[in-house]
Structure 1
Amino acid sequence: MFVASSRDVDLMPEHLVHFPKIKNYLAEVQEADQIKPNSKGNLVFVYAIENSEGWKPASGQVQIYHQSSKPLLPGTTILIKGAPQLIPTPTNPSMFDYSTYMERKGVYFTHFIGEKFSVLSTPQKASWSSTVIAWRQYLADKIGTYIENPHAVQISTALLLGQKNDMDTNLKDAYATAGAMHILAVSGLHVGIIYGFFFLIFKPSQKKGFKRVFYLSLIMVIIWFYAILTGLSPSVLRSATMFTFICFAQMKSRSPSIFNPLALSALVLLLYDPFLIYAVGFQLSYAALMGILLFQPLIRKLWHPEKKWLRYLWDITSVGLAAQLTTFPLAVYYFHIFPTYFILTNLLAIPAAFVIMSIGVPFLLFAAIPYLASILGWLMEMAIRLLNYGIFGLQALPFAKMDNLYLYLPEMILFWSFLFFLFHWIDGRKKYQLTAMIVLVFAFGIYRLYVGIERVSKDYLIIYNLKKGGVFDYLHKGQLFAMESEVDAAELKYSITPHRIKEMGMPVNRLAFSEETGNYKIALPGRRDVLLDKKTFLPVDLSGIELLFWKDGKWWRKEEFPLQGAISEGAIKITFNNKESPL
């Protein structure tokens, strides 16, 4: 609680949120530029602002976007003209809340500065972060030099260096559909391979005393260097911290328990940053590892193949099944999809990742030796091409994924509770454990029935707030009717579809729509026509309806929401049965 309160900006009098009407501000660049379609993104830390009272010390971070031809390097001090803006909240319900996401990272402001800034100083001596970035770029350039296929370059950069920003959309979609995105996010699999690779080289378990401590310490240094090199994502932090504690435990014991380092790593990371608990990567990483540690041995016991290669395939399958058991609720909750052929994907992707990493680690170590780097680069490219061929093949299979899925928080809790009792029932075979599982299954079904009944009882129309085009959704007796006009496909996917999946259901039926003088006419199934003003999108006739407006993450009634001309800040909701709550 103390650690979390130290991040509370309300308790920081010098934070940017307490300074209105900023004219200029001084800031230090924190990262390397990230290339965007029309600009370059970067993060700066503000240490002084200028307002009507002059210059004052300040603190806080701003996500900036600039269009300078020269890159901004970490440690550079710049003077920025104008005032940063608070990151806007979502304008439609169930949209990804980018403002909250950035707040949990300590960033509340954004600013498109174009070329309206001046470089005051550049670092005379390279900082550790700029050195790491330079090393990462050097290795990325080496990958591009010795690997020709563009997709192979992107996969190797993601696998080895944790950089996925420039990945081709089709390639990313193929891996997401097949259920192989986890091998592209540097995590426990990759850190474990690094650990195992150097563990086999140094063989610290065969050493005693000082030599054992020295080699294990060297492995820890290598792991953390790799973690820093790949960007210190939550999954990498978890893995590096856990393997660090494993190394400490191995200094005294040859086979320490994995659960203690796992719990201790979570505690240390949350003490360092309490808001990591909200990171999807953090949640998926620990959920997957808990599933593997608890359920993989139980699944593995279900079959004992005699042939070695079958045992190997069954081990991989059991790992995939165990991880999917515990991560399934999170994957459905956040991403609304489930890969149908995840077992086949794991049989392909996990061995492939091991082979690529086993070639890739030596490639990174010997990238400066042209002849050796050329051989390793060619081998790595061939392995990645085979992997990509398999992934695209799995994506092309019929029913490769189940989409438009959603689980509510109570359903997730019921699912994990079922797994808890299932694990203990397999071990103890107690009657009360079996009874608890049956009760939980019925509770899950009843809750799902309750959600369905609630949906059928609702009767409302939503006009979404979009940058381009227009979309009207009407929910009536559990069926969704929609009108879509000139809407951008990406905006439809990220601004509208999440709410449809969560609250309205799929598929979508066509909603009759026409234009009259100064108004839009919508023919609602089972109801009278509704006329909406073209400028404000408000109903012309307010009788028998209730208006709600979306702002700051919730619906506001008309009397709570002051209308000022055209409504453009967020979505508008028109309810017809007066049962809607603004909560």
Structure 2
Amino acid sequence: MILQKQPLLILAVCFILGILFQEKILLSQSVVHWLVAICLALLVLIGFHSYFLHKIRAVLLGILFFWAGVILHFYHTFSSDDHLLVKKKQTITFKISQKLNTTEKYRKFEGTAQAGRINLNSVFYIPKGGEDLDFIHYYKAEAYITRPKAPQYDFQFDYARYLKRRNIDYQIYISKEIQSAERNDLTVSDKLRQYRFMILRRIDKTGMSGKTREFLKGIILADRTEIDAGTVQDFNKSGLVHFLAISGTHIVVIFGMFYFLLIRFIPLRFRKYAIILSLVFIWLFAAFIGFGNSVLRSCIMLSIYFIFVLLQRKPDLLHALALSAFFILMGDTQQLFDVGFQLSFLAVLGIYWLNQPLLTYFPKQDNYVKKILFNTITISLSAQLATFPLVLYYFHQFSLISIIANFVIVPFSELIIVFSFLMTAFVSLGISFKLINGVYDFIIQLLLKVIHWFAEVDVLFFDNIPMNEAEVLSIFLVIFLLRFVILKFSFKNIMNLITVVLAFLIIRTGCNIFENQKEETLVQTFGKNKIFSIKTGNRACFWIQNTENKTDILRYIVHPYCAARRIDYFEIKSLSPSVQKVVFRDKIYELK
């Protein structure tokens, strides 16, 4: 019934299935050219008026959008540059377009390099300690150019593929001596990036503590590049990382703040212009902070929703969601494989599917405070339930404390966002009030301490949770059926839910048994270190030659392996750096 009323959603699903089909099958260019002709023929057929075609028009539209997804993904899949001969060590000229997260050794940037006559889309690694790079200069330096390597094993994160989806083929390591020259070809985007960069520097010069400054940069200006690893871990473990990242909540709050101010000055009969100006403002804000993926998704969805309002049509969340997906994926089909894209759209679907049923179990919302409080709780719970399977699939961890943390923190999120926005506005205008800075610093420090306290509740934190595609689909089906149980607690609905839960347990048990029957011996590389591991059943042992970076080895090697191979117990042992070979069951493993 619901799908019959949602043609846009059905067509969006067909379009997405076409993208996934091309991703898996990889049709050739000649086949795609034939598909273009087929799509044109389908368009002509759909345009004809006849009784028979009217009956199958919905099917023809579905096929058309499916093949459209295949065609667009073909043209958005970047070809390899293997034919380009690029010297590994040479002098390059480069410019940056985006700052990335800083590591212990390097500051990372995204940009374009010119090596000889070849332009290379690259990630640049600049040693810490030097001057920060900006967006209004060209830079020249000695560089070491390399291609991202594919992972050794299937359980490791494929960083090369991740960069390829962003049309990046190279990693370039820059020497400390960098020459610069001012650019004379600045675009509007470059000027906006530079102005944002200047505001970030001004924030650094305020008297607030370091963690508060980095929090302010992240929550308003979408710059989380300098946030310390401990703070990021606290947000991840407490399930509040969405609060720190610019998302739909931030855009809605900023839109609402601007709209609230406008309606105080615009007459009632011109109220629609307040909506239009507020939409213009959030798009200007999105351009200012760099049109990040999550920001762009939120702005498109909010704009479509209010276009329905301006056209005096009943706003439909699923229509807005489907149109947003079309606009984003037609611009870049690779966005479908972005984890943020998937989580944000699933969160909206979860709110649509579960929010109203959950509200029926709360007391009557007979005043503004109750309405805000209860809706905040149900919206947060709905979004968490909908994204729960993918969180397990991608990150293999979950904390039950995140539910409580969201109930405590999210109701105050609007006030924090508004206060942070005003602080950023003051800084950008060169206005500094020590009292206001002190109050803001105190509030954020208190907030970070509360979040850290939630993150410290390890008893409710679970990691290394194995999850494959079949298990994810079965959990999604559980969440789908949960709505009917909430709406009507009947025997039929309960039995349907129990059946799917049992199916999930059977699938999971079967996967565990299958994986635990395997034995495996691997030699993995992490930097200059070699890690030798032996898996027997649901146990594994790792021998490490250098334990100085044990934390990183746990994060990038041990935990992903345990999640992929369904390891319940593991131990780590030291191995002498002088050991060059290991003999196990008459097989020699090289460690050098």
Q: Which amino acid aligns with 2:74?
A: S
Distance change in 2, residues 1:338/1:366 (3 Å): same
Q: Which residue is 2:63 aligned to?
A: none
| 1:373-392 matches, cutoff 5 A | 373-392=433-452
Q: Which amino acid aligns with 2:84?
A: F
State the distance in 2 between where 1:423 and 1:462 align: 45
> How many Å apart are 1:419 and its aligned residue?
2.1
Alignment of 1:114 onto 2:206? no
Alignment of 1:238 onto 2:279? no
Query: Any idea what the Cα deviations from partners look like across 1:230-270, whole Å, max 9, x if unmatched?
Result: 33222211101111222322222286222222221111011
> How many Å apart are 1:454 and its aligned residue?
0.7
State the distance in 2 between where 1:82 and 1:516 align: 32
Q: Which residue is 2:388 aligned to?
A: 328
Distance change in 2, residues 1:373/1:443 (3 Å): same
> How many Å apart are 1:122 and its aligned residue?
2.9
- State which of 111, 115, 128 in structure 2 corresponds to 1:44: 111
Contact 1:7 1:106 in 2 (8 A): no
> How many Å apart are 1:282 and its aligned residue?
1.0
Q: Which amino acid aligns with 1:244?
A: S
- State which of 335, 339, 362 in structure 2 corresponds to 1:303: 362
Alignment of 1:508 onto 2:508? no
| 1:394-543 matches, cutoff 5 A | 394-424=454-484, 426=486, 436-487=496-547, 488-489=549-550, 490-509=552-571, 519-521=581-583, 530=586, 532=588, 536-537=590-591
Distance change in 2, residues 1:363/1:450 (3 Å): same
May I ask how many residue pairs the two structures share in their alignment? 517
What is the root-mean-square deviation in Å for CA atoms of aligned residues?
3.4
Q: Which amino acid aligns with 1:7?
A: H
Query: Any idea what the Cα deviations from partners look like across 1:152-198, whole Å, max 9, x if unmatched?
Result: 22212211111111111222212222111110011001011001111
Contact 1:470 1:484 in 2 (8 A): yes
TM-score normalised to the size of structure 2? 0.78
Unaligned runs of 5+ in 1: 523-528, 538-565, 567-583
State the distance in 2 between where 1:422 and 1:112 align: 51
Seq. identity, %: 19
1:167 aligned counterpart, secondary structure? coil
Contact 1:83 1:111 in 2 (8 A): yes
Distance change in 2, residues 1:435/1:185 (3 Å): same
Query: Any idea what the Cα deviations from partners look like across 1:401-453, whole Å, max 9, x if unmatched?
Result: 11121221111111112222333565588987655434322221111111121
State the distance in 2 between where 1:515 and 1:151 align: 38
Q: Which residue is 1:19 aligned to?
A: 84
Alignment of 1:143 onto 2:203? yes
State the distance in 1 between where 2:331 and 2:149 align: 27
Q: Which amino acid aligns with 2:220?
A: L
Distance change in 2, residues 1:244/1:499 (3 Å): same
Contact 1:475 1:504 in 2 (8 A): no
> How many Å apart are 1:117 and its aligned residue?
7.2
Q: Which residue is 1:4 aligned to?
A: 73
State the distance in 1 between where 2:541 and 2:115 align: 50
Query: Any idea what the Cα deviations from partners look like across 1:554-577, whole Å, max 9, x if unmatched?
Result: xxxxxxxxxxxx7xxxxxxxxxxx
Query: Any idea what the Cα deviations from partners look like across 1:287-319, whole Å, max 9, x if unmatched?
Result: 112112221111111121689666654433222
Distance change in 2, residues 1:472/1:17 (3 Å): closer
Contact 1:84 1:110 in 2 (8 A): yes
State the distance in 2 between where 1:298 and 1:409 align: 28
State the distance in 1 between where 2:288 and 2:322 align: 25
1:462 aligned counterpart, secondary structure? strand
> How many Å apart are 1:127 and its aligned residue?
2.8
> How many Å apart are 1:356 and its aligned residue?
1.4
Q: Which residue is 1:549 aligned to?
A: none
- State which of 408, 411, 415 in structure 2 corresponds to 1:348: 408
Unaligned runs of 5+ in 2: 1-69
Query: Any idea what the Cα deviations from partners look like across 1:96-115, whole Å, max 9, x if unmatched?
Result: 11111100111011122325
Alignment of 1:159 onto 2:233? no
State the distance in 2 between where 1:123 and 1:199 align: 38
- State which of 70, 76, 91 in structure 1 corresponds to 2:152: 91
Contact 2:146 2:171 in 1 (8 A): yes
Distance change in 2, residues 1:20/1:306 (3 Å): closer
TM-score normalised to the size of structure 1? 0.79
> How many Å apart are 1:496 and its aligned residue?
2.9
Contact 1:345 1:391 in 2 (8 A): yes
